[in-house]
Structure 1
Amino acid sequence: MTVSLLRTPDTSSRQLMTRRGWWLVGMNVLLPGSAQLVAGDRRLGRVGVVSTLVLWVGALLALLLSAISPQVVYTLFTQAGSLTALQVLLILYAILWVVLTLDTLRLVRLIRARPKARAWIAGSAIVMLVALTGAAGYGSVVAGSARGALGDIFAAGPSVPPVNGRYNIMLLGGDAGPDREGLRPDSMSIVSVDAATGKAVTIGLPRDLNQVPFPASSPMRAVYPDGYGYRDRCDVDVCQLNSIYTEVELYKRDLYPDARKKGSEPGIEAMRDALEGATGLTIQYYVLIDMQGFSDLIDALGGVDIAVTQRIPIGGDENLNGVVEWIQPGMHHMDGYHAQWYARARHGSSDYDRMARQRQLQDAILKQVNPVNIVTKFQAIAGAGKQVVKTDIPQSMLGYFVDLGLKTRRLPVSQLELVPPLVPKPSDPDFAAIRKLVRQAVAPAAHASAAG
């Protein structure tokens, strides 16, 4: 059909007007604004076509850039300013699409088309209108939710460089479940990642590690020069690694006066000092994951698959009185409630068993964090993330860490668990031997060369 017939058709021919109607609706779908260029308000058509082409070019550039330098794209879409701009653009384009579609239906002159075709032409236009404006609207909502969630979770501080080519991140599992008072770090580990390759090592530390030394720069060093818990000296009832958080939060907050300004807490900073003293690593960032939040996040992800090797009780006291349910051995698709108990149940197993179960749960969650889940369940995941995670990783470094994390996922993750038999007696360990094990784990090739 020629442009002249689209612009000045024979309105007395129902067959011609029906064909014209389908053409205009199709043009509005394929290139919004083109229907107006050939049959209506050309100024409005130019706005529609230019806006559409800008959208297409932007999408193509993003795809091209993601192939050449994905870190730039990740950084762009994790910053508040760019997410706000994206949200506004999607809203404006959705409004423009509504205007163009309604104007296209006006240009069609449905009354002149065949009676049986009128509903099909109008219905097709409305379906496409709902689909595309709905997609743009959802994209806008996701951009707004991402901006809010990222701003709530991540810090606004400066980035820091890797140390000896690695980023070392302290990972604390906070036990603030519904039957607990306050929050304590129930699991402690350091994720050490090669800043170039993404190769990662997870170093697990038991909570009963004792006489932990503090580095010379730590304010806790003056309080405990011989290590925390040396000769059972501490200011809480149990002197062990995870007690440091509780003690500092209760009695020694003034030792870390700037912790809050840096997006941290005094107890977290004391734990950072303790883990640095124990392992000899420099820890640039921390991530605190709340156990209750874990439950919400797992539900948001649609559950996790866990291979259970021994039955785990839900509920109950030290003598297993009051157990309401058992998680039996076998493969389970767990919701948040059952996964939370699987990770934190104490009865019938040791702290080291619990550490292993928590690592298993972390791996299962990472497998569920895939593009399909993120897109389809983003709202729930973002909401849970605000409850789950507290960190001092700056938002400006998110693009870098997303890119690094994708490299990590493609490589096997090594694990070093500082528990028996590797560390025979955590209550009285040889920290020189522990630091040597850590050096071997994070830089095996360099260590082997030095030894040779």
Structure 2
Amino acid sequence: MHDRHGSSRFTTGDRAARVRFRRAMALMLMTLLLPGSAQLVAGNRKVGRIALRIWMVTGFSVVVTLGAALFQHEVVFYLVSNTVVLGFLRFALMLAAIGWAVLFMDAWRIGQPLSLGLQHRRAAVGLNGVLCLSVAGSLLFGAHLVGVQRDFMLTMFSSSKVTGAHDGRYNVLLLGGDSGAGRWGLRPDSMTVASIDARTGRTVLIALPRNMENFPFVKGSVMAQQFPDGFDADYLNGVSTWAGDNTELFPKSKNPGVDATIMAIEGITGLKINYWAMVNLEGFKDLVDAVGGVTLNVRAPIPVGGLGNDVTGYIQPGVRKLNGHDTLWFARARDGSDDYSRMARQKCVMNAMLNQISPQVAVRNFEKIAKASSAMISTDVPASEVDRFMQLAIEAKGQKISTLSLVPPMIVTAHPDIKLIHRKVKEAIARADGTAPKPAKAKSHAGDLVTGGSVGSLHSGYAANQADDLGAAC
């Protein structure tokens, strides 16, 4: 800029000040892009070389890991489930946050802030503060998320007992109820065995009614010794309460109710149970809210309330996205319905959750999901097996889910035909494996009666309870 006489308004001192300012800003931007580069060119070169080497090794490791993850999902599952790796990563992120912040402060020092004019000094301080807080804050937040995941793994998957697949399948008992972890005085509200192909993830859901009576326990178990002629003391969902009242029979058990229930499930189905998971239904709604809701086909008005209390409203029919509160009532409502219709709706919720929760949704809502899951589930799945089941869940996503429910009209719950149940379980698994012929023509449920929100009736059976394709039946 020139005045009217053509002479420059900027003196040599002004130009030197601008150079110093640009240099100071450049040093901080260099630290943002290549930590240590500012020290390498204008400060302690030894520090600069160490920082750059760490940055290059870290960048290379991240690129290699991301590349491997694109082709091998197991890499990601291993990283997010291994508590040793998570502990190391958390510590590394915290060190990186501190180290990077120190490099920013040193770059600001190298820029000789006291030699800058007041306005330039304020701008340099502002930029340095923004960069330092942004980078260090992001890394510390990342360390926090890693810590959440590590705590989740340590809290949720504390068992160390690993069991292998039985006949090529993992059988996981899913128990649902209003109780929390360790509160087995309350009866499980639902019992389902998820039989998962160890190679493909293809899943068969085998549901057992809570009101089944006179069933045998697996041979050789302590419960079979107590009830050699079958359980006649209560319904199936009362086994856990009975075991809780007789804990002296389970001296080495941490969860007598669970163990006794497993003995019953194995005796009824003929399957060997690998692991169990107890789902607190009240906590389930928090998980649904954490993933943003779940879309379900509501075929008839579903009452909200009941179960001994007043009905306060209805979930109206239609294909709609439900929040956690409404999804919970969709799954558990029994007013104007029956247990078997409710079992059918619960399977539809399981199918929707499996197919609608994407990895992207899980990442976006990671902390909420971890918090909800910790309050919702107790399980004996060991941490070392989590990556395996995550991979199987990915494999199962998009595949058909088969269902078999041991309910009327096929099974008389008061006097179940155990030989028939064993045969039906084997047939359902064989059809899912593709080793048994499928029905000549799948039954069409178009125009069928809808009872309690589920296609079918107590007399004819509910479509979602007996299906080779659960998604189509829902």
Please give the range of the TM-score, normalised by the shorter of the 2 chains.
0.7 to 0.9
**Counterpart among 336, 339, 345 of residue 348 in structure 1:** 336
Q: Give the secondary-structure state (helix, strand or coil) at the position aligned to 1:326.
A: strand
Instruction: List alignment gaps of at least 5 residues for structure 2.
Output: 1-12, 438-474
Please give the per-residue CA displacement for 1:202-230, whole angstroms capped at 9, x wherever unaligned. Answer: 1111212222211112111122222223x
Q: Is the aligned partner of 1:373 residue 2:354?
A: no
- What CA distance in whole angstroms lies between the structure 1 residues aligned with 2:201 and 2:288? 25
- What CA distance in whole angstroms lies between the structure 2 residues aligned with 1:23 and 1:447? 68
Q: Give the secondary-structure state (helix, strand or coil) at the position aligned to 1:242.
A: helix
1:298-377 matches, cutoff 5 A: 298-316=288-306, 322-367=310-355, 369-377=357-365
Q: Is the aligned partner of 1:386 residue 2:374?
A: yes
**Counterpart among 394, 408, 429 of residue 442 in structure 1:** 429
Give 1:3's aligned residue: none
Following superposition, the deviation at residue 276 of structure 1 comes to 1.0
Following superposition, the deviation at residue 418 of structure 1 comes to 2.3
Judging changes above 3 Å, is the alpha-carbon distance between structure 1 residues 305 and 127 closer, same or farther for their aligned structure 2 residues? farther
- What CA distance in whole angstroms lies between the structure 2 residues aligned with 1:160 and 1:322? 45
Please give the per-residue CA displacement for 1:396-450, whole angstroms capped at 9, x wherever unaligned. Answer: 11122212221111422222222234x242222222121111111222357538x
Relative contact order: is structure 1 or structure 2 higher (C-alpha 8 Å, sep ≥ 6)?
A: 1
Q: Is the aligned partner of 1:213 residue 2:216?
A: yes
Please give the per-residue CA displacement for 1:122-178, whole angstroms capped at 9, x wherever unaligned. Answer: 54444333332222111111111111111111133131111111111011112339x
Following superposition, the deviation at residue 277 of structure 1 comes to 1.1
- What CA distance in whole angstroms lies between the structure 1 residues aligned with 2:199 and 2:305? 45
Please give the per-residue CA displacement for 1:25-51, whole angstroms capped at 9, x wherever unaligned. Answer: 332121111111111121221232122
Please give the per-residue CA displacement for 1:373-413, whole angstroms capped at 9, x wherever unaligned. Answer: 33333333222222211111111111222122211114222
**Counterpart among 55, 80, 84 of residue 81 in structure 1:** 84
**Counterpart among 234, 240, 254 of residue 235 in structure 2:** 240
Q: 2:200 is aligned with what amino acid? A: T
**Counterpart among 384, 399, 419 of residue 432 in structure 1:** 419
- What CA distance in whole angstroms lies between the structure 1 residues aligned with 2:381 and 2:262? 14
Contact 1:202–1:413 at 8 Å: present in 2 too? yes
- What CA distance in whole angstroms lies between the structure 2 residues aligned with 1:429 and 1:419? 9
Following superposition, the deviation at residue 304 of structure 1 comes to 2.6
- What CA distance in whole angstroms lies between the structure 1 residues aligned with 2:228 and 2:269? 17
Contact 1:11–1:112 at 8 Å: present in 2 too? no
Give 2:447's aligned residue: none
Q: 2:229 is aligned with what amino acid? A: D
Please give the per-residue CA displacement for 1:57-78, whole angstroms capped at 9, x wherever unaligned. Answer: 2212322332454324422331
- What CA distance in whole angstroms lies between the structure 2 residues aligned with 1:420 and 1:176? 27
Contact 1:18–1:112 at 8 Å: present in 2 too? no
Judging changes above 3 Å, is the alpha-carbon distance between structure 1 residues 428 and 399 closer, same or farther for their aligned structure 2 residues? same
Following superposition, the deviation at residue 121 of structure 1 comes to 5.3
Give 1:169's aligned residue: 172
Contact 2:89–2:143 at 8 Å: present in 1 too? yes
- What CA distance in whole angstroms lies between the structure 1 residues aligned with 2:133 and 2:357? 29
Contact 2:279–2:377 at 8 Å: present in 1 too? yes
- What CA distance in whole angstroms lies between the structure 2 residues aligned with 1:389 and 1:325? 28
* Cα RMSD for the two superposed structures: 2.7
1:28-177 matches, cutoff 5 A: 28-67=31-70, 69-109=72-112, 122-176=125-179
Q: Give the secondary-structure state (helix, strand or coil) at the position aligned to 2:189.
A: strand
Give 1:258's aligned residue: 252
Following superposition, the deviation at residue 339 of structure 1 comes to 2.4
- What CA distance in whole angstroms lies between the structure 2 residues aligned with 1:94 and 1:11? 36
- What CA distance in whole angstroms lies between the structure 1 residues aligned with 2:390 and 2:357? 12
TM (norm. structure 1) is 0.85
Percent of pairs with identical residues: 37
- What CA distance in whole angstroms lies between the structure 1 residues aligned with 2:76 and 2:307? 51
Give 2:392's aligned residue: 404
Q: 1:240 is aligned with what amino acid? A: Y
Instruction: List alignment gaps of at least 5 residues for structure 1.
Output: 1-9
Q: Give the secondary-structure state (helix, strand or coil) at the position aligned to 2:230.
A: coil
Contact 1:11–1:17 at 8 Å: present in 2 too? no
TM (norm. structure 2) is 0.81
Give 1:187's aligned residue: 190
Following superposition, the deviation at residue 361 of structure 1 comes to 2.4
- What CA distance in whole angstroms lies between the structure 2 residues aligned with 1:311 and 1:181? 33
Give 1:6's aligned residue: none
Following superposition, the deviation at residue 85 of structure 1 comes to 0.9
Q: Is the aligned partner of 1:297 residue 2:287?
A: yes
Q: 1:393 is aligned with what amino acid? A: V
Judging changes above 3 Å, is the alpha-carbon distance between structure 1 residues 387 and 159 closer, same or farther for their aligned structure 2 residues? same
User: After TM superposition, which residue ranges in structure 1, 4 or more long, deviate above 4 angstroms?
Assistant: 110-125
Following superposition, the deviation at residue 312 of structure 1 comes to 2.0
Contact 2:172–2:193 at 8 Å: present in 1 too? yes
Give 1:7's aligned residue: none
Which range moves more in the overlay, 375-384 or 387-396? 375-384
Q: What is the total number of aligned residue pairs between the two structures? A: 422
Q: Give the secondary-structure state (helix, strand or coil) at the position aligned to 1:88.
A: helix
Contact 1:297–1:385 at 8 Å: present in 2 too? yes
- What CA distance in whole angstroms lies between the structure 1 residues aligned with 2:196 and 2:43? 59
- What CA distance in whole angstroms lies between the structure 1 residues aligned with 2:62 and 2:91? 16
Judging changes above 3 Å, is the alpha-carbon distance between structure 1 residues 12 and 310 closer, same or farther for their aligned structure 2 residues? same
Q: 1:349 is aligned with what amino acid? A: S
Contact 2:80–2:149 at 8 Å: present in 1 too? no
Q: Give the secondary-structure state (helix, strand or coil) at the position aligned to 2:186.
A: coil
- What CA distance in whole angstroms lies between the structure 2 residues aligned with 1:191 and 1:316? 29
Judging changes above 3 Å, is the alpha-carbon distance between structure 1 residues 189 and 65 closer, same or farther for their aligned structure 2 residues? same
- What CA distance in whole angstroms lies between the structure 2 residues aligned with 1:118 and 1:124? 10
